[in-house]
Amino acid sequence: MMWKNSPRLAVFALAACATAAALTGCQGKNEQAASTANAAPKAVLVSVQEIKLQDAIMRTELSGRTSAYRVAEVRPQVSGIIQKRLFEEGSEVKEGQSLYQIDPAVYEANVASARATLLQAEATLVSARADAKRSAELVKVNAVSRSSNDTAQANYKVAQANVEAAKAALESARIDLRYTKVTSPITGKVSLSEVTPGALVTANQAQRLTVVQQLDPIYVDVTQSYDVLADLRQQAKEGIIKTGTEGSADVQLVLDGDRIYGEIGKLTFQDALVDESTGTVRIRAVFPNPERELMPGMYVRARLIDGVREKAVKLDQRATMRRNTGAPYVYVVTKDNKVESRDIVIAGSDGPYWVVDSGLSEGERVIIDGIQHVRPGSLVRCEPALAPGEEKPAAAPAAAAASAAGASK
């Protein structure tokens, strides 16, 4: 029985040997293909900007905050009970406009009392003047003694002084009565009221009643290092930054969302103030604010237009990176499509572009998108980068369908 089945066993043995040889050959081919793939690194797709020389409008941007042109904290100058609030919170008020009414009854009585005192002093003056005149005539004929005449003349002068004192007291009482109407010291926007009718207030108290802020014009306080201020002054001196006769330069204001404020302001370099704690310098600009669009405390950017630089290197700001020292650098694609790190020197900005002084030349390719996927020495494939703010066009339906079909396979 065993000998009858031996041919079949031989066939099975030969088939097993052939299968094992085939598997060994396939494994060798796969290992060779993997080794070849590892030997040839795959190029990374990046978007690049090709450097071209073009005119650049040089701008200097300084960050800062808005502050009111004038601020007045309203406090009472006489004591009493608040009867009325005479303004609408958040409204515009004029200089001298009444904001509060303090109960005037006591002060009206003081005015009446001072007026009566003045009348009494004036009556006394009339009598003293007549006595002095009569005594002066009688002393000439020795009808009265010189001592009596001196007394009469002195009484007359005392009566005159009493009248002047009474007039001053009356004027003081009238001033206190006027102070029962608490008025706005400046024209501007009034804040919330911090007291209500019925509250007792005292003269020159620490607590304010409300605040009035003049918002047209409005200040923009820019804080920078002294080096920046020195550079701005030097540019103004050389005529790069155009200034007026009073030493101020025109400046634009950039709001949130890169929106340009509609009014042009003036930046005055002479009004710089040094912060002793930080050593920074505060430069103040003044902007018209007729529509009250700017409010105190807003974060803004003041932009000075320095001038036009011809045939400049303009670089998309998305391409720049910073070293630990703060020095800017970029990734440049060489002729053999490898990545190279390059330090650059930035002279200023023109919108979303840096104006580069040195480090880049015309025709060089700088990586804009895909920076995070490469390192110096990496092999890359290049495609043109989209301009700042430009959106990638949507894929055509046929191309999208083909791409989806390929992905499913």
Reported as a single tens digit per residue, the pLDDT across 34-69 is 554 455 568 999 999 999 998 887 677 788 899 999
Q: To the nearest whole number, what is the mean pLDDT of the chain? A: 84
More confident site: 226 or 22 = 226
The residue with tokens 């706005």 is: 184
Residue 315 confidence (pLDDT): 94
- Please name every residue paired with 183 in a beta bridge, in sequence order, or none if there are none: 98
Local confidence band at 316 (pLDDT 50, 70, 90 cut-offs): very high
Average pLDDT, integer, range 340-365? 90
Whole-angstrom distance, CA of residue 60 vs CA of residue 254: 12
Neighbours of 198 (CB within 10 A): 8
CATH architecture of 47-55+311-387: Beta Barrel (2.40)
More confident site: 240 or 298 = 298
* 29 pLDDT more than 70: no
Average pLDDT, integer, range 342-355? 87
- Of the candidates 390, 403, 395, 402, the one whose C-alpha atom is nearest the C-alpha of residue 47 is 390
Local confidence band at 271 (pLDDT 50, 70, 90 cut-offs): low
* 242 pLDDT more than 90: no
Q: Name the least confident of 108-112, 182-186, 386-390.
A: 386-390
Residue 1 confidence (pLDDT): 43
The three-point CA angle 117-119-125 to 5° equals 105
Reported as a single tens digit per residue, the pLDDT across 106-127 is 999 999 999 999 999 999 999 9
Domain ranges across the chain: 47-55+311-387, 60-68+214-308, 77-102+180-207, 104-178
The CATH code belonging to domain 77-102+180-207 is: 2.40.50.100
Percent of the chain, pLDDT > 70?
79
Whole-angstrom distance, CA of residue 289 vs CA of residue 295: 9
Whole-angstrom distance, CA of residue 316 vs CA of residue 188: 44
Local confidence band at 32 (pLDDT 50, 70, 90 cut-offs): low
Average pLDDT, integer, range 137-161? 93
Average pLDDT, integer, range 168-179? 97
- Of the candidates 227, 224, 225, 269, the one whose C-alpha atom is nearest the C-alpha of residue 244 is 269
Local confidence band at 306 (pLDDT 50, 70, 90 cut-offs): low
More confident site: 400 or 318 = 318
Residue 317 confidence (pLDDT): 93
Residue 245 confidence (pLDDT): 57
The CATH code belonging to domain 104-178 is: 1.10.287.470
Q: What number of CA atoms fall less than 13 Å from residue 268's CA on the CB side?
A: 12
* 256 pLDDT more than 90: no
Angle formed by the axes of helices 146-178 and 105-140, nearest 10°: 160
Please state whether the peptide bond connecting residue 328 to the residue before it is cis, i.e. omega within 30 degrees of 0. Answer: no
* 370 pLDDT more than 80: yes
Whole-angstrom distance, CA of residue 116 vs CA of residue 109: 11
Reported as a single tens digit per residue, the pLDDT across 79-91 is 999 999 999 999 9
End-to-end CA distance of the chain: 54
* 409 pLDDT more than 80: no
Average pLDDT, integer, range 259-277? 78
Average pLDDT, integer, range 323-337? 94
DSSP-based three-state secondary structure for 402: helix
> How is 342-393 classified by DSSP, letter by letter?
EE-EEEEEETTEEEEEES--TT-EEEEE-GGG--TT-BEEEEEPPPTTPPPP
CATH architecture of 60-68+214-308: Beta Barrel (2.40)
